[in-house]
Structure 1
Amino acid sequence: MSRSAVPKKAQILVLGGGPAGSYTACMLALEGFDVVLLEAAKFPRYHIGESMLPSCPQFLKLIDLEETVENFGFCNKPGAALKLVGEKKEAYTDFIRTHPENRSWNVTRADFDEILLRHAEKVGVKVFEETRAFSIKFVNDNPKGRPLAVKWQNIIDRNVSGTVSFEYLVDATGRDGIMAQKYLKHRKVNTSLRNVACWGYWKGAGVYGVGTSRENAPWFEAHTEESGWNWFIPLHNGMTSVGVVINEDAGNQRKLAAKRANGGVASTLKRHYLDCLQLSPGLIDLLGDAKLLEDGPYPVVQSASDFSYNAPTYSGDHYRLIGDAAAFIDPFFSSGVHLALTGGLAAAVSIASSIRGEYSETEGCKYHDAKIGVAYTRFLVVVLSAYKQMRAQNRSVLSDFDEDNFDRAFDIIRPVIQGDADVGRRMSEDELQKLIALCGSALLPVDPEVYARVVSRLDTKLVDPRGAIVTPEEIDLLVPNDLEARLVLKEINARKSTGGLFLTISDSFEEVTAGFSARVHRGNIGLISHAPKANSTSGFSIQVGKARPSHLPHLLLLFFGVVLALLFHQYGTFGVV
């Protein structure tokens, strides 16, 4: 669209055209709402974060984009390999073994993000690129109140600027987060995850699992000195994304040591990057004779802070925060786009219900906040459990959680830890440390042959991946003298508890949060009210079809349930990516 075509008024204004913003805009435009999207960059534009989760295709199906992305030719991602302990075999998470539809991709984000943005245009979103929002006007000039209008400016021709008013605002401006950083000022960095990332692209690298069902799965490996981890992600264009995530202090110490060893001359970013790659010998083996790409359109090695952060709220009167504008979690479990689309859908259904007068803004905001808060906290817990194993330390992490969000999630898993239904009190530091430790074995690395052998001889109801969750204690009683069966059953039940990482959207999110679930029928998306019942707990949900409350008791264990009770101290592996 032309630079001067930004309208003076919109029903819904979306700031940011990344996955979160484009997805929300698509969902709302498909409902017939008037949606305007402002994006500061010109697409396609580069972005890191190439590894997708199996939930991604399922989210895309809701906006009729799954087939388009599938046909683009991105590298298929059948699972993921993780090596957290040097002397032990890597764990492997097989996405498609039990559910072929759970495949995902390793993507080039410039292409993936542009596909989403162009689809938004196709379904009726008015998209304006190279247009930056630089200030927001609020009712009574109160930044904690309702936003009314945004001042924008074209970044190429600064003489082109204007103001657009709106009824609803969706902030998807990424880490810059105009609402969170400039106005709300409520973002909190998690001190346990102050990391720095650096990365580059290689040509001629090897392939993990070549010739097997694991071929092209990404590889994630902890540093031998317990300072962080490295990634190895094959891409469809023949390149391999190879990166380093290192604790900020540890990284600075390595740079200082290199400077001393080099006669006082500071190490370059490239030298630091190559040095850190040596901390993951399995990754070095995969690189083989590969060459670092030095003649591409981007810097040879790029770097960015990788601090995880969240906030006490992600919405307010007629506005929603989504994607990295809301919260960011360490990328060890490739959760970025998953959380972006999760938040985008929450924003869309809550705004749709508000517009239609079904529920109040207060109710919609409560749902949106709880959904993003719990999703973030779930990933935070499993990320911290992985880091605890990588770093082999036992430090307090209690202060890093937003207590309200954590308590909501912890209420779901407390009965698994304690063996009772006590949900009325705050967690103790001891309980939290127990949670982090036990969470370290979400999926056990059972060989496919063993898995097939066990499944063929056990009762089909017992091995049904969509059946009720069976606790580790129950499994031990059912097959007390059958080690193979115990391992397979614990893996199956761990997968039941990993939410959007493996299951379909309808199975993964059919829970209730803040008294609501989400209705995602085309032309009638919105919230579904679930009257609270005595002594009930609240999870969170995306509903495809009618509410099915009979499933809630087991689905409330979503993501955590059995994960927490697997034998971490015995197997020491973690495999949810």
Structure 2
Amino acid sequence: MTATHSARMQEKTPIESFDVVVIGAGPAGSVSSALLRQNGYKVLVLEKEYFPRFSIGESLLPQCMEYLEQANMLDAVKKGTFQYKNGAAFSRGDEYEYFDFREKFSPGWGTTFQVQRDCFDKILADESQKQGVQIRFGHALVACEEIPNARLLTALDEDNQQYQVSAKFVLDASGFGRVLPKMLKLEKDSSLAPRKSIFTHIEDNIVCPQYDRDKILITVHPKLPEVWYWLIPFSNGRCSLGVVAPTEVIDEIGTEPLACLQQLVSEGGRLANILEHAVYDTQVRSLGSYSCDVTSLYGKRYALLGNAGEFLDPIFSSGVTIAMTSASLAAAAVHKELSGQSPDWESEYADALKVGVKTFKEFVEGWYDQRFQQVVFSKQKSEGITKMISSILAGYAWDKENPYVKTPSRLSTLSEICKSA
């Protein structure tokens, strides 16, 4: 947009002023906007879609509960009749192991929920609105300019008409939309290998008495250890089902998404038996090369939250936890900045957030190179170490008292011990 065009728009329409504009009304956007509103700020959220809308990332981690409490949203979530969750189960061939999040090293919540994100995200957005946050659904950001003491944002409304607002600070919680990284050329390739995911919701019709609906089930392909499946049960007899594989594995199957997913599930050993009566009644979606990164998590009067910054991998369901952690950290730093306290964004936000991201990343890499799979399926587990690992899987990847958070590379040593045992 040229300066002349910008000036003309300003002449035609008065520019609204906000303390903070948040891009996206998902978990990171709703939590951060509510936290900022609690401190009295005038907050606007621009959300290009209309809620409820489909989204993946349905298996929350217990660490999320703390942020929902902070944002005064937990009571509303508890009323949502979501599926109770107390751990994660792992299956490979005839092997079956699980981690109970109530038996962990770190203090805090040991249970949470598995949620259908269309309903969950709407509850969070509704709660932020009840607290005084203004959300404009169907509005998309198209430009973000730096002006003296603020950011000038140009948006499109529901009728595709442009208007402008100014903000003292902008938070990008646009998820995979990655609005500011694309607009400000902040994107860079992830260090993680490219993979592809195919997923859907099903009527599960599970009758297997050994199946535990209180846990997410992660299944490893019996012959291809880099291929794994998630099965996330909901409270209404439905499940989220997905498979993650190297891109070439899915491309080699060469069929349309539903047939590809069903073929891979049929090869899943125990999973195939669990889902023998499943009804595939929902569109199968796919997402490729989803891992992403940025050159910086913040800049002058803006910061990136959750997936808008860095997304790792669906394994361990870390996405929403990282998003909510970033929302809490960023809201605190924005509050300091708008109060004239000059926060150190590198140490108080970027470095603080990267503690957990680095921990999860080590475990993601360890999953695909089999170091962590060696730990998961070990038959000789130390109770103390199991609790430390359980804490990380429960989302407490920022607890520096945990040796595997303080030094994530300890996973390699643990894997060797398990292998030799």
TM-score scaled to structure 1, two decimals?
A: 0.65
Q: Which moved more, 1:348-357 or 1:178-187?
A: 178-187
Asked whether 1:28 is paired with 2:36, we answer: yes
Change (3 A) 1:208 1:491: farther
The corresponding residue for 1:180 is 181
Give the Cα separation in 1 of the matches to 2:208 and 2:61. Answer: 18
| Aligned residue-pair number | 405
The amino acid across from 1:219 in the alignment is L
The corresponding residue for 1:275 is 263
Secondary structure at the aligned position of 2:364 is classed as helix
Q: Which moved more, 1:64-73 or 1:15-24?
A: 64-73
TM-superposition CA deviations, 1:55-110 (whole Å, max 9, x none): 11121111121122112110011111112x435x2220101246794101110000
After superposition, residues 329-344 of structure 1 pair within 5 angstroms as: 329-344=312-327
Give the Cα separation in 2 of the matches to 1:343 and 1:6. Answer: 33
Secondary structure at the aligned position of 1:90 is classed as strand
The corresponding residue for 1:371 is 352
TM-superposition CA deviations, 1:282-325 (whole Å, max 9, x none): 1111112121115xxxx2x1112252112231001111100111
Match of 2:386 among 464, 486, 491: 491
Q: Give the Å deviation of 1:209.
A: 6.5
The amino acid across from 1:243 in the alignment is G
Q: Give the Å deviation of 1:440.
A: 5.1
After superposition, residues 138-153 of structure 1 pair within 5 angstroms as: 138-139=146-147, 148-153=151-156
Q: Give the Å deviation of 1:121.
A: 0.6
After superposition, residues 5-16 of structure 1 pair within 5 angstroms as: 8-16=16-24
Match of 2:113 among 105, 115, 120: 105
**Alpha-carbon contact 1:382-1:440 (below 8 Å) kept:** no
Asked whether 1:310 is paired with 2:293, we answer: yes
Give the Cα separation in 1 of the matches to 2:373 and 2:269. Answer: 22
Give the Cα separation in 2 of the matches to 1:97 and 1:365. Answer: 34
The amino acid across from 1:91 in the alignment is E
Change (3 A) 1:7 1:91: farther
The amino acid across from 1:202 in the alignment is I
Secondary structure at the aligned position of 1:119 is classed as helix
TM-superposition CA deviations, 1:162-203 (whole Å, max 9, x none): 0001100101112221211121333223352x1111112221
The corresponding residue for 1:218 is 216
The corresponding residue for 1:121 is 129
Asked whether 1:564 is paired with 2:411, we answer: yes
Change (3 A) 1:488 1:309: same
Q: Give the Å deviation of 1:502.
A: 5.4
**Alpha-carbon contact 2:186-2:296 (below 8 Å) kept:** no
Give the Cα separation in 1 of the matches to 2:362 and 2:89. Answer: 20
The corresponding residue for 1:501 is 394
The amino acid across from 1:152 in the alignment is A
TM-superposition CA deviations, 1:347-370 (whole Å, max 9, x none): 10111111112234xx12442121
Give the Cα separation in 1 of the matches to 2:187 and 2:213. Answer: 43
Give the Cα separation in 2 of the matches to 1:442 and 1:245. Answer: 20
The corresponding residue for 1:19 is 27
Asked whether 1:387 is paired with 2:368, we answer: yes
Change (3 A) 1:9 1:238: same
**Alpha-carbon contact 1:24-1:347 (below 8 Å) kept:** yes
**Alpha-carbon contact 2:312-2:361 (below 8 Å) kept:** yes
The amino acid across from 1:487 in the alignment is S
**Alpha-carbon contact 1:133-1:153 (below 8 Å) kept:** yes
The corresponding residue for 1:231 is 230
Q: Give the Å deviation of 1:116.
A: 0.8
The corresponding residue for 1:540 is none
Q: Give the Å deviation of 1:566.
A: 6.1
Change (3 A) 1:207 1:162: farther
The amino acid across from 2:330 in the alignment is A
The corresponding residue for 1:201 is 201
The amino acid across from 2:22 in the alignment is V
The amino acid across from 2:385 in the alignment is K
TM-score scaled to structure 2, two decimals?
A: 0.87
**Alpha-carbon contact 2:24-2:46 (below 8 Å) kept:** yes
Change (3 A) 1:368 1:162: same
**Alpha-carbon contact 2:404-2:411 (below 8 Å) kept:** no
Give the Cα separation in 2 of the matches to 1:441 and 1:348. Answer: 39
Change (3 A) 1:58 1:209: farther
Q: Which moved more, 1:302-311 or 1:183-192?
A: 183-192
Give the Cα separation in 1 of the matches to 2:209 and 2:150. Answer: 51
Change (3 A) 1:55 1:444: farther
**Residue segments in structure 2 that go unaligned for 5+ positions in a row:** 1-12
**Residue segments in structure 1 that go unaligned for 5+ positions in a row:** 141-145, 256-266, 390-436, 447-482, 512-553, 573-577
Change (3 A) 1:149 1:365: farther
Q: Give the Å deviation of 1:136.
A: 1.2
Give the Cα separation in 1 of the matches to 2:413 and 2:99. Answer: 15
Give the Cα separation in 2 of the matches to 1:384 and 1:66. Answer: 32
The corresponding residue for 1:92 is 98
Q: Give the Å deviation of 1:252.
A: 1.4
The corresponding residue for 1:551 is none
TM-superposition CA deviations, 1:370-401 (whole Å, max 9, x none): 12333222211101101111xxxxxxxxxxxx
Q: Give the Å deviation of 1:223.
A: 1.8
The corresponding residue for 1:543 is none
The amino acid across from 1:157 in the alignment is D
**Alpha-carbon contact 1:173-1:325 (below 8 Å) kept:** yes
The corresponding residue for 2:307 is 324
Q: Give the Å deviation of 1:248.
A: 0.6
Asked whether 1:248 is paired with 2:247, we answer: yes
Change (3 A) 1:341 1:148: same
What's the % identity of the aligned pairs? 23
Q: Give the Å deviation of 1:147.
A: 6.3
Q: Give the Å deviation of 1:157.
A: 1.1
**Alpha-carbon contact 2:99-2:390 (below 8 Å) kept:** no
Asked whether 1:49 is paired with 2:57, we answer: yes
Give the Cα separation in 2 of the matches to 1:441 and 1:6. Answer: 61
Give the Cα separation in 2 of the matches to 1:161 and 1:315. Answer: 26
Give the Cα separation in 1 of the matches to 2:175 and 2:102. Answer: 31
The amino acid across from 1:326 in the alignment is G
